[in-house]
Amino acid sequence: MVMEEQPIMDGSSADETKEEEDDFRSCCEDEDEVEDSEEPGKADLDEDLDDYSVKMYFKGVSIAGPGDFGSRLSGIGVVMERSRDLSPIRVQKKLDFYVEESVADYLALLDGLLEAAENNIRQVFAFTDSDILYDQITKDEELENPLLAALRQRILEQASNMEAFVLKFVRSTEIQKAVQLAQVAVGIVSTPVEGDKLTESCSICCEEKFSSMIITIKCSHKFCSDCMKTHVKEKLQSTRVPIRCPHSSCKYCISTPEFSSFLPVTSYESLERALKEANILDKIFCPYPNCSVMLDPRECLSTRASSSSQTDDGCMECPVCRGLICVDCGVPWHTSMTCEEYQKLPLEDREACYISLVQNKGWRRCQQCHRMIELNHGCYHMTCR
DSSP state of 41: B
Cβ atoms of 215 and 260 within 8 Å: the answer is no
Q: Can you say whether the dihedral through the CA atoms of 341, 344, 349, 355 is positive or negative?
A: positive
Closest CA to 291 of 317, 329, 310: 317
Closest CA to 129 of 104, 159, 151: 104
Q: Tally helices (H) and strands (E) across the chain.
A: 11, 16
Q: Can you say whether the dihedral through the CA atoms of 308, 312, 317, 323 is positive or negative?
A: negative
Dump pLDDT digits (tens) for 318-348: 888 888 888 777 778 877 677 777 777 665 5
Q: What is the pLDDT along the chain (385 residues), one digit of tens a residue?
A: 334 444 455 444 444 444 544 544 444 444 444 344 455 655 555 457 888 999 999 999 998 866 655 678 999 999 999 988 888 999 999 999 999 999 999 999 999 999 999 999 999 999 999 998 999 998 877 888 899 999 999 999 999 999 999 999 999 999 999 999 999 999 998 876 666 678 888 989 988 888 889 998 888 899 999 999 999 999 888 878 888 899 888 888 888 888 888 999 999 998 888 877 776 556 677 777 667 677 776 666 555 444 444 446 678 888 888 888 887 777 788 776 777 777 776 655 565 666 566 667 666 666 665 566 776 666 767 677 6
Dump pLDDT digits (tens) for 31-72: 444 344 455 655 555 457 888 999 999 999 998 866 655 678
CA dist., res. 226 & res. 270, Å (int): 17
- What is the helix (H) or strand (E) element at residue 215, kind and residue range? strand 214-216
List of E strands, 217-269: 222-224
- The b/e string for 218-238 (b: 16+ C-beta within 10 A; e otherwise) is bbbbbbbbbbbbebbeebbee
Q: Are strands 315-317 and 324-326 parallel, antiparallel or unpaired?
A: antiparallel
Distances (CA, A) of 19 to 23, 114, 159, 249, 252: 6, 21, 13, 66, 62
Enumerate residues 6+ apart whose C-beta is below 8 A from 72.
62, 63, 64, 65, 98
Closest CA to 128 of 73, 77, 93, 189: 77
Per-state percent for the chain, helix, strand, coil, to nearest 5: 35, 20, 45
- Output the CA angle 133-144-75, nearest 5 degrees: 45
Three-state SS for 316?
Answer: strand
